[in-house]
Amino acid sequence: MKHARIPFPALCTATLLALSLATACDKGESKEGASEAAASEKSAGPSAKAGKVTFDRLETLDNAKILAEAADYDKCVAEAQAQLGKASKVEGDDYTWYAMNGEECHSYVLMGANGTMSRSKGPYKVGTSELEECKKAAEG
């Protein structure tokens, strides 16, 4: 069975549409539930993710929130940092977060160009060719 590839812009559009529909469905939430959700979001802000990037943060990454900011790369990076903490490595417009899980090293990468997000990769377990760099940055 052959699968069609979905172009990245179409994937982003579909993701944003799904998020907006899910948000629209939640409008009937009680005030009590809404205030609890707001308090939870406040506590999960950027200051809550200070310190070392952890595997748990990579594992629970909400990539849809990051993709929702793709048109403004600074906001995109800010959302990733709010969830993951400070990037382990920054090279130009490429931000990489590394975290260890036992002997395995995992990575999440955001790439930008001209003020917008051009691509995200991961989180994924790095291969042998990236392992030493990943371990060094994750422990650093």
Identify whether 102 is part of a domain.
yes
- For 133, half-sphere exposure in the C-beta direction (CA atoms, 13 angstrom radius) is 11
Identify whether 10 is part of a domain.
no
Identify whether 89 is part of a domain.
yes
The pTM score is 0.63
Identify whether 33 is part of a domain.
no
Instruction: Indicate whether 64 pLDDT > 50.
Output: yes
Structural domain range at position 135: 52-140
Instruction: Indicate whether 35 pLDDT > 70.
Output: no
Structure-token pair, residue 35: 């205030």
Query: Among residues 57, 73, 81, which one has the least CA distance to residue 119?
Result: 73
**What's residue 49's pLDDT?**
62
Identify whether 32 is part of a domain.
no
Q: Would you tell me how many other CB atoms lie within 10 Å of the CB of residue 137? A: 19
pLDDT tens digits along 5-29: 555 454 444 444 343 333 333 334 3
Identify whether 47 is part of a domain.
no
Q: Rounded to a whole number, what is the distance in angstroms from the first to the last CA of the chain?
A: 45
More confident residue, 86 or 50: 86
**What's residue 140's pLDDT?**
75
Is residue 2 very low, low, confident or very high in pLDDT (cuts 50, 70, 90)?
A: low
Query: Among residues 52, 53, 77, 51, which one has the least CA distance to residue 65?
Result: 77
Q: How many domains does the chain have?
A: 1
